[in-house]
Amino acid sequence: MTIESRASSDEKKVIIDIRGRFDFSQISQFRSSYESHNKDAEYTVDLRQTEHIDSSALGMLLNMRSYLGGDKAKIKIVNCSPGIMKIFEISRFDKKFTIS
Amino acid sequence: MEILVAEDEAYCRKRLVMELEDVGHVCHVAENGAVALELWRENKPDMILMDLLMPVMDGLAASKAIKKEQAGVHVPLIFLTALSDEEELAQSLEVGDDFLVKPINFNILRAKIKAHERILILNRQVLLQNKELEYFRSRVHQEYDMTRHLMEASQKSSDRNVPGIDTRCTAVSFFNGDLVLLYEKWDGGAYFLIGDFTGHGLAASVGSIPVTQAFRTMSKRNLSVGEIVRELNLILKRLLPDTMFFCATAGEINQARSRIELWCGGLPDAYLLGERNQIHRVIKSTHMPLGVMEDKEFEADTEIVPLTEADRLIFTTDGVTECANAEGDMFGEESLVKALRHSKGSLISTVLQAIYEFNSALQDDLSLIEITCSEKGIAPDDAEEEISHEDDGVIGIPAISMQFEWQPPQLKSGDPLMIVRQWLNRHMAIRENKEVVFMVISELFNNALEHGVLGLSSERKNEDNGFENYYQLRQESLQSLKDGWVRLGLRISSRLPINLTIEVTDSGQGISPGNLDLEDNDDTFGRGLPMVNAVCQQLEFNIDNWQVRAVIDLNH
C-alpha cells in the first residue's frame, strides 16, 4: 500500500502516510484514506516518504480540504522535504494548509 | 614409575632397587646427595627415596635443592632414616612428604609408594584440569573481548551531540542489556530509542546488535516511529528465545522541538516537565514490549505530544526506579518524581545524584535520555556541498543529453516517468532539486499526453466530480490508445550556472500555454503550467512543431 491511514483510538486524529509518488495514480486510494474517517477529525498528511508530487496531488489535497469543510477543515501537512516545501510555497498552499 | 633412589650404603641400595624393580618400577640410583641432584635434573623421576645421612651432600640439602628447582610440579619425596630423634624427623617433613625408619620394612615401603602414587595421580589430574580451565578462561575472555568490540562498534553508529538531547548508557548497563540510540535526521529532527532487554549479562545484550543496525537503517530511510517499532518487533520475535524480550520506548522529535511522536512498550513512566519543573504529563507505556507479539497482533500506534519551548522530557529504563540500596529498598518512582521536581540544571545529573545519595554503589547500571525543547535541531544548511568547478565556470561533470520516446505500450504502463527519475537521480545537481525537476517533467509530460496525444480538455475538471471524472476518462482513453507518442529531451549543462533543459513534443497538438499566472483559488486544476512557469528560468511554447521547452536553474 502506498497510502495508509490510521486514526487514534478516539477517532479524533487521523494520520495519512503517503509513500513514493503522490499524483493522480493514487486518486481513489487517497480519497478513501480520509472518507473512511470522521469529517471533524484533525488530519495529518505525512509526506516523509513521498518522493515527488505534481499539480494533480495539489488538486487532490484541495478536494480533501473541501470535502472536510473548506476553511473549517483541520489539515496539517508534515515532514515535507525542502523541495516539496518549495512546490507548496510556489503554489501558495502554505496559506491554505499548515505545512511543516 | 621412575624412582630416584639415593642411598650411600651399598647393600641397602641394592635391596631397595631389587624390591622396586620387582614391582615394575624403574630406578635411578645415587650414592650421595650430589649425584642424586644430578640424576634428578637429568631424568625428572616421578618419585624420590632419599637417605637423610649421606656423604658429600646429605639428603636434606639435596632435597631442598630439588624442591627449589621443581617449581610447581609435585614429586613425592620419602626420606629414609635411621634417626629416631622426633625433632629431626618432624623437621625433615618440612621438605619431604613422608619418611620411613630404617631398617626398612618393605611391605610398608610398597604401601607408602602406592599411597604417594595415588596422590601423585590426583595431583597431576588437578594440574591438567587447571591447565584446561586456564585455557577456557582465556578463550572466554577472548570471545568476550570480541563480542564487546562488535557491540561497541555497532553502538558507535548512534549519534552524539544532537542539540538538546542528552543520553546516558554506561558500558556496564550496555552489557547488561540496556540500549540507548540516537539518530539525527537531515532536517534537524531526531529519532531515539531507549530500552532494556530482559535478563542480565552478555546474553541479554546480544539482541542490541540487530536492533542497532535496523534502527539506523530505518532512521536513514526516514520511516515513521510506528514502522520502525513494527520492524524491530518482527526482528526480535524471530531472533529472541521466548523468555526474552525488549522493553523500549522509541520516538521522533522534529527540528523545532515542538512535536514528539512516541511508542512506549514496557518501560517505566517517562515525564514531561514544564516551567518550574511542573510535571505536565506522565507518559505511560501503552504497549507490550518488543519481541513478544506476533506481527499480526502487534500494535504500532503512536502518541503525538505537542511541546513548548519550556518543556523537558526524561526517559529511563527500570534500572533507575528498581535500583536497591543496602537495605533492599528500591529507589522507586516517588523518589524519581521528587528528584525531578526539585531539579536544578540537567535532569540526568539530578537523577544520578539522587541515586548516588540513595546507594553510592549503583551508579553504573542506569540508562537515561533527556530532551530539552528550548534547544532546536540544526536545520539543513542551504549552501550545502557545492559542485567543484574551475575559475571559468566549467564543472568536472560533462554535459549530458538524453532522449526518451514513449509509444502507446510504454505510455500505458503504470509509471512511465519512473525510468526518467531513476536516471536523473544519479546526478548530484539534479538530486538536490529533484522534487522541483520531477514536478516540471511530470507536468510537461502529462500535459503532452493528456491534451496533445489523448486530446482531453481540462475544462472537464470544472464539472461536478470533474476532477475525478477527468482522470477516469484519461485512463480509459489511454487504454484504447493505438497511435501516438511523447518525446522528452533532457540536457544538463557542464558550465555554471548548471541548468537543465527539458523539451517535450508529442504526436498531437502539443501544449497550449493558456494562463500562466498562479491564482490563489480553490480550483483543483490549472495549477500545473503556472507552477512550471514559476520555477523555470525560461518556458517557451513553439506552436509550429508542438514543442515546449523549459529551462531550470539547478544552482538553487
> Each residue of B232-283: pLDDT tens digit?
999 999 988 888 899 999 999 998 899 899 999 999 999 999 999 999 999 9
The pLDDT of residue B383 is 42
Note the CATH architecture for domain A3-99.
Answer: 2-Layer Sandwich (3.30)
> Each residue of A55-81: pLDDT tens digit?
899 999 998 998 998 888 889 998 888
- Tell if the CB–CB gap between A13 and B522 is shorter than 8 Å: no
Through-space distance between the first and last CA atoms of chain B, rounded to whole angstroms: 92
- Domain boundaries in chain A? 3-99
Note the CATH architecture for domain B2-125.
Answer: 3-Layer(aba) Sandwich (3.40)
- Tell if the CB–CB gap between B531 and A56 is shorter than 8 Å: no
Residue B56 pLDDT > 90, yes or no?
no
- Tell if the CB–CB gap between A70 and B522 is shorter than 8 Å: yes
- Tell if the CB–CB gap between A66 and B522 is shorter than 8 Å: yes
Residue B77 pLDDT > 50, yes or no?
yes
The pLDDT of residue B205 is 81
- Tell if the CB–CB gap between B531 and A27 is shorter than 8 Å: no
Cβ-nearest to B535 among A24, A90, A92: A90
Superfamily of domain B400-553: Histidine kinase-like ATPase, C-terminal domain (3.30.565.10)
Q: Which three cell numbers stand for residue B257?
A: 522541538
More confident residue, B288 or B430: B288
Task: Provide the pLDDT confidence category of residue B520 given band limits of 50, 70 and 90.
Answer: low
Q: Which residues of B touch A58 (CB under 8 A)?
A: 524, 527
Give the DSSP H or E segment for B192: strand B190-197
For B18-67, list the strands marked E by DSSP.
26-30, 47-51
Average pLDDT, chain A: 88
Task: Provide the pLDDT confidence category of residue B285 given band limits of 50, 70 and 90.
Answer: very high
Torsion region of B517: left, alpha or beta (phi above 0 gives left; psi -120 to 50 gives alpha): beta
- In which residue ranges of chain B is CATH 3.30.565.10 found? 400-553
Q: Which residues of B touch A49 (CB under 8 A)?
A: 221-223
- What value does the mean pLDDT take over residues B464-478? 86
Q: What is the CB neighbour count within 10 angstroms for residue B386?
A: 10
- What value does the mean pLDDT take over residues B11-33? 92
Residues paired with residue B30 on neighbouring β-strands, in sequence order: B6
The pLDDT of residue B382 is 45
The pLDDT of residue B388 is 59
Among A29, A89, A90, which would you mutate to test the B interface (most chain B Cβ atoms within 10 Å of its Cβ)? A90
Q: Which residues of B touch A66 (CB under 8 A)?
A: 522
Q: Between A and B, how many CB-CB pairs are < 8 A?
A: 100
- Would you call B332 exposed, middle or buried from its count of C-beta atoms within 10 A (0-12, 13-18, 19+)? middle
> Each residue of B350-407: pLDDT tens digit?
998 888 888 877 655 789 999 999 998 887 654 445 555 555 667 777 889 999 999 9
More confident residue, B112 or B169: B112
Lowest mean pLDDT among B203-212, B381-390, B394-403, B429-438: B381-390
HSE of B211 in the Cβ direction (CA atoms, 13 Å)? Answer: 35
Among A26, A56, A80, which would you mutate to test the B interface (most chain B Cβ atoms within 10 Å of its Cβ)? A56
Q: Which residues of B touch A9 (CB under 8 A)?
A: 301
- In which residue ranges of chain B is CATH 3.60.40.10 found? 157-372
The pLDDT of residue B384 is 47
Residue window 17-56, chain A: list those with CB within 8 Å of chain B.
17, 21, 23-25, 27-28, 31, 44, 46, 48-49, 51-56
Look up residue B462 and give its amino acid: N
Task: Please state, for a pLDDT cut of 90, what percent of chain B lies above it.
Answer: 43
Question: What CATH number labels B157-372?
Answer: 3.60.40.10
Write b or e for each residue in B138-162: b if 16 or more Cβ atoms lie within 10 A of its Cβ, otherwise e: eeeeeeeeeeeeebeebbeebbeeb
Residue B298 pLDDT > 50, yes or no?
yes
- What value does the mean pLDDT take over residues B25-50? 93
Q: Which residues of A touch B438 (CB under 8 A)?
A: 51-52, 54
- Tell if the CB–CB gap between A91 and B531 is shorter than 8 Å: yes
- Tell if the CB–CB gap between B528 and A46 is shorter than 8 Å: no
Average pLDDT, chain B: 87
CA distance B181 to B167: 8
- Tell if the CB–CB gap between B527 and A6 is shorter than 8 Å: no
